Chains A and B, each alone.
Chain A
Amino acid sequence: MTGTIDVTLAQVAATLALVAIAIGVSFWQRAGLENEIAVAVVRSFVQLTAIGFVIQVIFDEDTVALVVVLIAVMVLFGAFTARHRARRVPHAFWPLLVALSVSAIATLGLVVALGVFEPEPRFLVPVGGMVVGNSMTASAVALNRLGDEMHDSAHRIEATLALGASATEAAAPFVRRSLRTGMITLVDSTKTTGLIFFPGTMVGMLLAGAEPVDAVRLQLILLYALLGSVAIAGLISVSLAYRSFFTPAQQLREQPEP
C-alpha cells in the first residue's frame, strides 16, 4: 500500500527559504512576528526531532504500554496548553484533562474495536497524536468561548437563575454555543476537504508514494475519527467547566476580571 521516502536534512534546510520569506513579509509589513517565527521554527525542529526519536524507540520496542505512556504525556501537556487559552474559566485544567483523556481512550478504543486499526504502536501513536491535538484545540476554543459567554452574559444568566432555573438550565444556551464553536472548525474543514485543501495525512501518503485511493481512504478514516473525538472532548470540557461558574446553591460566582 505504501512505500517509504527518504528525506535528507539538506531538503529540510532548503525549505527554510520559505521561512525566510515569512520573516521578510513580517519585517516589511512591521507585523512584529520575526522573533515568533524564529522561535516557532526552532521549537518545531527540536520538538519534532525529539518526538521522532521517541516514536522510533516505541516502534522498536513494539509494546502498547509505551504508547499509553506517550499519549498520557501528550494529554497532560495538552491540558496545560489549552488551559492558557481558557483563562476566564476557573480551574480549567481538570475539565480539560478529563476531556482529552476520555476522548483519546474512547476514540482509540473504538477504532481498534471496530477493526479499523490493529492495536499496534505503528497505528496507535500517530492516530493518538492527531486525536489529542485536535481535541486539545477544540476544547481550548470551546472553553475560551465559554469563558467569554459566561462573563459577557452574566446578567442574563443571573436573570434566568432568578426565575428558578437551575445552573444547568441557565447555562445551557451558552454551553451549546461554546460546544458549537469548538467543533465548527473541524466540521467546516471536513466539508471542504479535497476541494479547497488536501489534509496532511493524505498529502504525506501521496508524497510517500501511496496509491491515491489508499491515501483518500485512510484520510477519511482519520477525519471521521477526529470528528468523534472532537465532539467527545468538546462536550466533556464544556459540560464540566461551566459548573465552576456556579456555587452549590445555584448562584453565579463573582467573577474576577482577567
Chain B
Amino acid sequence: MCNQPVLFELQDVALSRGGREVLRDLTASLPEGASCVAGPSGCGKSSLLRLLNRLADPDRGSVVYRGRDVREADVLELRREVCLVPQLPSLLDGTVADNVRYAARLADREANVERLLDLAGLDASYADRDGSKLSVGEQQRAMLARALALEPDVLLLDEPTSALDESARDAVEATLVHLRERVSVSTVLVTHDLDQARRLSDWVVRLDVGRAVEQGHVHDLLPA
C-alpha cells in the first residue's frame, strides 16, 4: 500500500450511463500526490473521475474524500477544492483572462492572471486573446490556468493530452511536472497511455471494463 495518506477511497462503486453499466463493483484507493487512472478507451476512466467531485453520483457504493463521503460535503465547495479539467476544450466566451477571472470570482479570490498563465505554461500575452481562437493545446493550458485560479487542493485531469501531437503533449507533460514542483496540489490523471502514466504519476489504478483490475506503485505495476 502507498505510504501517502488516502485522498479518495471508492468502495463497490457502480455507475450506469445511457443504459449501460460503465463502472461495476469498483473498489480503489487514490493517495495524495500524483496518481493516475489508466486503461483502454471506454473502460470507465472519465466516468470515475466525474464521481470524485460529484459531477455524477454512483448508482451504488461510496466515494470518500479525505475520510468523508463526498455526498456529505457542500457540492460547490467540493468542486472548487477538487477541480476537474475536462478533456474537450470548454472555455467560456471571452478572453483567456476573462475565463481565469471567472473561476477566481467563483472562489471569492483575486486572480493573478499573469502568474496563473505562467503556471499553466502560457506567457502573459495570452491573457487578452480570445479563448475560442486558441489551438487545442493552448486551450488545454488556458483551462488549466482557469482551474488553478480556484487554488484547488486536487486537480482532476481528464486525458489532457489526448488531442495533442507528440511535441505539444511533451510540453503539457513538462508543465504538469513543473506545476507540481511549484504548487502544492494533488493530481489524479486519467489516461489510456501507460507511458504517460509512468511519466506523470506515482500511483496507478488500472481499469478494465469498469472494474479496477490492479492498483499500486507505478514502478511496480508499470516497470520501465
Contact = CB atoms under 8 A, between A and B. Distances in A.
Contact of A159 (B77, B78, B143): B143
Which of B71, B76, B79 has the most C-beta atoms of chain A within 10 angstroms of its own C-beta?
B76
Query: Range of interface residues on chain B?
Result: 20 to 34
B194 interface: no
Contacts of A164: 76-80, 83, 106-107, 150
Nearest to A157: B90
Given A249-B54, A249-B57, A250-B75, A155 B86 contact: yes
A153 to B, nearest CB: 9
A169 interface: yes
Decide if the interface of chain B is mainly helix, strand, loop or mixed.
Answer: mixed
A158 B84 CA distance: 10
A155 B85 CA distance: 11
Nearest to B156: A162
Interface string B54-89: 111100000000000001000111111001111010
Given A155-B90, A156-B92, A158-B86, A163 B79 contact: yes
B90 A156 contact: yes
B93 interface: yes
Contacts, number: 63
B17 A254 contact: yes
Which of A159, A165, A250 has the most C-beta atoms of chain B within 10 angstroms of its own C-beta?
A159
B18 interface: yes
A190 B147 CA distance: 44
Contacts of A249: 54, 57, 71, 75
B70 to A, nearest CB: 10
A163 B103 contact: yes
B219 to A, nearest CB: 31
Contacts of B187: none
Contact of A162 (B18, B86, B91): B86
B161 interface: no
B141 interface: no
B65 to A, nearest CB: 14
Interface in A188-243: none
A159 B86 CA distance: 6
Given A164-B76, A250-B76, A155 B88 contact: yes
B19 to A, nearest CB: 9
A161 interface: yes
A44 interface: no
B80 A254 contact: no
Interface of B: 17-18, 53-57, 71, 75-80, 83-86, 88, 90-93, 102-103, 106-107, 143, 146-147, 150, 156
16 contacts: A155-B88, A155-B90, A156-B91, A160-B92, A162-B83, A162-B84, A162-B85, A162-B156, A163-B80, A163-B102, A163-B147, A164-B76, A164-B78, A164-B79, A169-B106, A251-B57
